[in-house]
A and B are shown apart, each in its own frame.
Chain A
C-alpha cells in the first residue's frame, strides 16, 4: 500500500513534455501579438562573428 507521499510523488513521473511544448507555442504566439518577440532572441557564433537571430 502506497503512502500519501508516494502517491503525490507519482506526479513527477508523468510526462508533461507535449503539453508544455504546446503551452510554449501558445506563449510565443501571445508574445508576438504583444510585440514582445524582439527580445526572444538567440546569439549564435558564425564565421562572420556573433549573430543575433530571432
Chain B
C-alpha cells in the first residue's frame, strides 16, 4: 500500500486508513457495546466513514475522527436497542477482554456504566488514549474527560464491593 505524500493534505487511500485503524476501532467497540454487538457496530462505523471519506479535507487526526464515528454509532445503536439479555451460549469469543474470567466479569460491569463514562473508560484503558484525545472524541474538555474516567472508576469500585 503506498504512502500519502508528506506535502499532500489529501487523506491516505481508504484501504490504508482501514488497515491502519481497524484494530483500535474494534478494540473500542468491543469494550463499549460488548462482544455480541461489536461486528455490527464495526461495520456501521466504517460504512459511515467510507461515505464521508471523499469529502474529508485537512483532517489531521484520522484516528480521533474514526473513533468519534464509532462512539456516535455505538451510542445510537445502544439507545435504539436498549440493553437486552443475551443468552450466554450465544456469546462469541471475547478477544479484547483478557484471558481471565474475572476480567470478563469486570468488562460486564463496564457495560452497565452511563454512555459517556463507559466510552471514556474504554478509550482510556482498552485503547490507551490520552485524556486530550478522549475529550476531542466525546466533545468535552480534557478535564471533563478525566472526570468521566474518575467517576467511572468510582462506580465500578462501588459495583464490585
A interface residues, Cβ below 8 angstroms from B:
4-5, 7-21, 23-24, 26-27, 30-31, 34, 36, 39-45
Chain A's closest residue to B29 (CB) is A23
Contact B47–A11 (Cβ < 8 Å): no
A9–B126 Cα gap in the complex (Å)?
6
Whether B121 sits at the interface, judged by CB under 8 Å, is yes
Contact B97–A11 (Cβ < 8 Å): yes
B interface residues, Cβ below 8 angstroms from A:
1-2, 13-16, 18-19, 22-23, 25-27, 30-31, 38-39, 42-43, 46-47, 50-51, 53-54, 93, 95-100, 102-103, 106-107, 110, 121, 124-128, 153, 156-157, 160
Contact B126–A12 (Cβ < 8 Å): yes
A45–B50 Cα gap in the complex (Å)?
23
Q: Which of A7, A16, A39, A41 contacts B96 (CB 8 A)?
A: A16
Contact A17–B23 (Cβ < 8 Å): yes
Q: Give B14 Cβ to nearest chain A Cβ, in Å.
A: 5
Q: Which residues of A sit under 8 angstroms from B126, Cβ to Cβ?
A: 8, 11-12
Interface SS of chain B: helix
Contact A16–B30 (Cβ < 8 Å): yes
A-B contact count (CB 8 A): 110
Contact B102–A40 (Cβ < 8 Å): no
Contact B22–A7 (Cβ < 8 Å): no
Chain B's closest residue to A13 (CB) is B98
Contact A24–B18 (Cβ < 8 Å): yes
